[in-house]
Chains A and B, each alone.
Chain A
Amino acid sequence: MNIRVENVRQVWESRDGSQVVALDGFTHTFKSGRFSCILGPSGCGKSTMAQIVGGIETATSGTVTLEGTDSGKKGSSSVMVWQSQNLFPWRSVLDNVAFGPEMAGMSRRERTERARDLINLVGLKGFERHFPTQLSGGMRQRVALARALIMDRPILLMDEPFGALDAQTKIVMQEELMRIFDATRKTVIFVTHSIDEAILLGDEVIVMTARPGRIKEVIEVDLPRPRSIEMVSTPAFGALFDRAFHLIRDEVTKAMQEQNAKAGALS
């Protein structure tokens, strides 16, 4: 299903009563079965955008509609993979993955079976009985992915899922995600601040401006699938990278200047 986002605006009220416009005039259609990356400097509202699509946050104004479905409930069509994973520390890997089906009232036998399938899919066979704190960051993120995939919802939202991982683990996880995406063909909205990652994973890269977050440009990524990390060194990748880099550099500079100005005003 397509996700039509129209004129979404998000305003936060800060403690001193002043208003911060996090997102402004965000209009875009996320096409069904596509991998869309939202790329932008920190604080540009890209995570907020993903949460609005997921029904976790409510936009101040604007609309999100899911085309090709009459269920108006956004939440039940999508599921989020969080940067901080948000795994339940008191639940084993198996019970974390089975959480959604358990809440939906599925029998223990059935949900265990499904959870095992997904644990295998993300390459965690043998770790079913481990607790999240016994796992590395990369493995925890695999659990979070399995816990989301078990919901079998058409839209997968990913909020900087690999942001906290070390460089090598990140590459492995990106390749895994590409494999899983090719196998499941969800509609993915992937939030990141890494240009490499956005181009490597995405069918399109939505470059955002610094606060207030607006769409600066949408870059179509026509690299063939299946993708692999080797593509990073191809000329086509290089050209896309340059384009995204020049767009984002201005925004990062702007964001830094704004922060400096704010720090100056405070001191």
Chain B
Amino acid sequence: MTKRRAKGRLAEKILPALSIVVFLVAWQLFVDIRNIPPIYLPSPVAIVRALFEMAEDGTLFYNLGATLLRILVGFLLATVIGIFFGIVMGMSRLFERIVDPWIAALYPLPKISLIPLLIIWLGTGEAYKIVISAVTAFFPIVMSTYAGVRQVDRGLIKAAEDLGANRRQAQISVVLPAAIPTIFAGLQLGMGVTIILVVAAEMIGGSSSGGMGNLLIQAGQVMETEKVFAALVVLTLMGAFIMKGQQWLDRRLAPWANYV
């Protein structure tokens, strides 16, 4: 009985990895046996080989570094501005009335449609890539910060005031920390769209400044399909690492929020 259960647990642990390995082997066999041209579908081995080549000649790290830097700057910009606006909106009725119509109107707009306008204004350099990603990430961050501040349990504020906190103290010592889990949820959404928009902007923007999106487009144009796949693998891993890292950081910064 216990043996069977132990076996069940082991299988449960192995299955995710096994699922990927079986898929890759099947892919490799399919390509080899059916003689699929690599332009359409390169084999996993060919993709790994392309990955190593790109790592060796430095194109991988150059482009990955450029993309990561843009994500970081765009995200930080959105975070600082979004949290600031969110908090002030949540705490000041006046400010909320002034800003709310703009946010309500612009939130549903697909931010990617701003790219032509931003290229006209800013050109295709760094500024446009960072601005488009920051503008997109700003919305989920400002909305969840605002919601977090507004939805703070009234009971906690009453308790704080009963314990002698004045209005300002209640806002700093109660409202802000109480809003942190909601703010973090917004930051995760914001990071997700930052990654999307930076890569998309790199695909559309200038060819000289590099980045993973640019690498993808260039490889695609000359039908280096294994490079396209290699870039996709890198982007997947990059996204996974950033998201996991963010979750880890959230847990470190707000350990109490896990238990709720």
A residues engaging B (CB < 8 A)? 54, 56, 75-76, 79-80, 82, 84, 86, 88-91, 99-100, 102-104, 131-134, 147-148, 151
Contacts and interface: CB of A to CB of B under 8 A. Distances in A.
Contact of A99 (B160, B178, B257): B160
Given A86-B158, A90-B178, A151-B163, 7 more contacts: A75-B161, A84-B155, A86-B153, A86-B155, A88-B174, A133-B260, A147-B163
B254 A99 contact: no
B259 A103 contact: no
B256 interface: yes
Contact of B259 (A75, A82, A91, A133): A133
12 contacts: A56-B161, A75-B162, A79-B162, A88-B177, A89-B260, A90-B254, A91-B256, A100-B164, A103-B163, A131-B256, A132-B256, A133-B259
B165 interface: yes
Contact of A89 (B161, B165, B256): B256
B256 A133 contact: yes
A45 to B, nearest CB: 17
B178 A82 contact: no
Interface residues of B, number: 24
Contacts of B166: 103
Given A86-B158, A88-B156, A90-B178, A79 B259 contact: no
Nearest to B258: A133
Contacts of B151: none
A134 B256 CA distance: 9
A104 B164 contact: yes
B68 interface: no
Contact of B165 (A90, A103, A131, A134): A103
A104 B177 CA distance: 19
Q: Which applies to chain B's interface (DSSP): helix, strand, loop or mixed? A: helix
Nearest to B174: A88
B206 interface: no
A134 to B, nearest CB: 6
A56 B162 contact: yes
Given A56-B162, A79-B162, A80-B162, A90 B259 contact: no
Nearest to A80: B162
A84 B153 CA distance: 11
B173 interface: yes
A226 to B, nearest CB: 29
B41 interface: no
A103 B173 contact: yes
Nearest to A83: B155
Contacts of B209: none
Interface in B244-260: 254-257, 259-260
Interface in B146-188: 153, 155-156, 158-166, 169, 173-174, 177-178, 180
Contacts of B255: 131
A133 B256 CA distance: 7
B35 to A, nearest CB: 60
